[in-house]
Amino acid sequence: MNSQQLVDLHDVEEYWKSRNLVRLDQMMYYVRWLSRFLTGPGGNPGLSHEDAQRAFLEQLERRGDVPEWQLRQAGRAVELFQKHYLRHRAENGAENAVAVCMHPSAVPATLEAAMDETRRLVRMRHYALTTEQTYLSWLAQYREFVRMNGLPWDAPDTARAFLAHLAIRRGVAASTQNQAFSAILFLLREVAGKDTACLSSVRARRGPHLPVVLSEREVTQVLALAEGTAGLMLRLIYGSGLRVTECTRLRVKDLDFDHGILFVREGKGDKDRSTLLPASLYAPLQKHLERIKELHQRELAKGHGDVELPHALSIKYPKAAWEWGWQYVFPARERSMDPRSGMVRRHHADSQALQRVLREAVQRAGNVKHAKVHTLRHSFATHLLMHGVNIREVQEYLGHKSVETTMIYTHVMRGLNSTAVSPLDALEKAVG
């Protein structure tokens, strides 16, 4: 029996809309993926939710013409159907109305199992490793809170109590509270399939904050005190407006010296972009790459030399992991085990080590500003605007989705370029 005949896709769409689970401009694509799922693996009553979803995604991957972002969208459509819509139908006494019935393993029985499921979903959706670690760290604190207070882990009221505890008892900053909010929201909505509309009121509100920006003189002082490979990385971050992880994960093939362009692959929001490659770094970078290539050749001679490839490229291009173009521009000093795959390879440089180098350089320069590596990216944007570069162009270099995000730097620039004179200075001048 065709399960699509037993599922009213219009009803599914209306339910998703009522719970604000899918953006309206993407709704028709989600419904199409669900339709394909139900006429394929989703129509097999002998498969569990997890097996049906896996079979569907493997089926799409075998075609070879479905981009990675569409695979993620298809997987998300199936999850929203299985974990939200079917539960909604079951709670309203219609659990037998569809061929794909609620499977016992669809919702984890314990918080420990839910944390394992969170890890699986985060990896399946290709979230950053730092996101995975942050989510699981907050869930570990949530687990302790649940245990100490004897509360049900999958109840939205328990989540509200935990977030209130963070804000009132521990006095965490708004950004920290929202970080915890995102982790708990993912647990309840994506793993437990709960209606989380009641949690929106406990999201912390952050007022507008101006970023810390170094002047051009201060940038010169700090960079002069950062030497070696770390110094080169900091110069590239400032000169190209990179995030720290974008710099550490940079591949050799992403440097285009002929056109003066640096390509950022899978940046924040899984977006690609291009930005400036500073001409003053051509020679230092090429000299650095010569040393890295020698290291790579020695690694190959020892039977190593492979790097992690994004997503399923290692299957599509089996030899690419050993190719020079895919190597990291800034590899780690030693080979180590990948925390996700368990493979022992030479990974990219450690971002925390880079943060330490910048912090020490700022202190040695006698600068009291609370500057981090990301401060160099803020300074890049502000200095471009001060030199008359169009804000839309700066937006593209930074990879911001909206120009409103980029406009924060115009407020900083206005303060730096202001011709206003303090009334106290005017008064002193008049008296003098």
Q: Which residues are catalytic?
A: 243, 268, 374, 377, 400, 409
Q: How far apart are CA 237 and CA 364, in angstroms?
A: 20
Buried b (16+ CB within 10 A) or exposed e, 300-311: eeeeebbbbbee
Tokens of 306: 């492979």
H helices present in 216-338, as ranges: 216-224, 228-240, 244-248, 282-301, 313-316
Please state, as a whole number, how many other Cβ atoms lie within 10 Å of the Cβ of residue 416.
13
The answer to whether 160 and 198 are in contact (CB under 8 A) is yes
Greatest distance between any 2 Cα atoms in the chain: 94
Closest CA to 13 of 73, 74, 77: 77
Alpha-carbon gap, residue 304 to 322, rounded angstroms: 8
Write down the H helix ranges in 150-215: 156-164, 174-185
Alpha helices for 186-267 (secondary structure H): 216-224, 228-240, 244-248
Q: What is the total residue count of the chain?
A: 432
Q: Is the dihedral of CA 147, 150, 155, 157 positive or negative?
A: negative
Residues 239, 240, 242, 247, CA torsion sign = negative
- Helix, strand counts (H, E) of the chain: 20, 5
Six-digit token string for 331: 């590899």
d(C-alpha 36, C-alpha 46), whole Å:
18
